[in-house]
Amino acid sequence: MSHNIYIYILVMAGVTYLIRLLPLTFIRKEIKNTYIRSFLYYVPYVTLSVMTFPAILTATQSIWSALIGFIAAIVVAYRGASLVKVSAAACLAVFLMELIPGI
């Protein structure tokens, strides 16, 4: 069974182009509906979260250390710390959890 890579590339390019072209051609006026505007505002954040969360859980040797690091990052971020402090706290929590044998 032979696969032509150029067909795959052409289909991916077409889909990517259509996703960007269709809103420009069909939506000409400013969107005034507050529900749709708020939905479109949060789409990038949700997309980033959906791509990042599985990587968080599989980045360590144990899912438990990954969850502890994730919870530590959420707690430190909720308290208003900077991104460097949040990532340092998550790394420290994962490091300490990985030191515990059997986890």
53 or 23, which is more confident? 53
25-45 tens-digit pLDDT: 888 888 888 998 898 888 888
**pLDDT band for position 75 (cuts 50, 70, 90):** very high
- Give every CB contact of residue 93 below 8 A, 6+ residues apart in sequence: 65, 68, 69, 71, 72, 73
What is the extent of the structural domain holding 55? Answer: 5-29+41-99
pLDDT of residue 1: 55
Q: What 8-state DSSP symbol labels residue 27?
A: -
Number of domains in the chain: 1
Helix axes 83-99, 63-78, angle to 10 degrees: 150
45-73 tens-digit pLDDT: 888 889 889 999 898 888 999 999 999 99
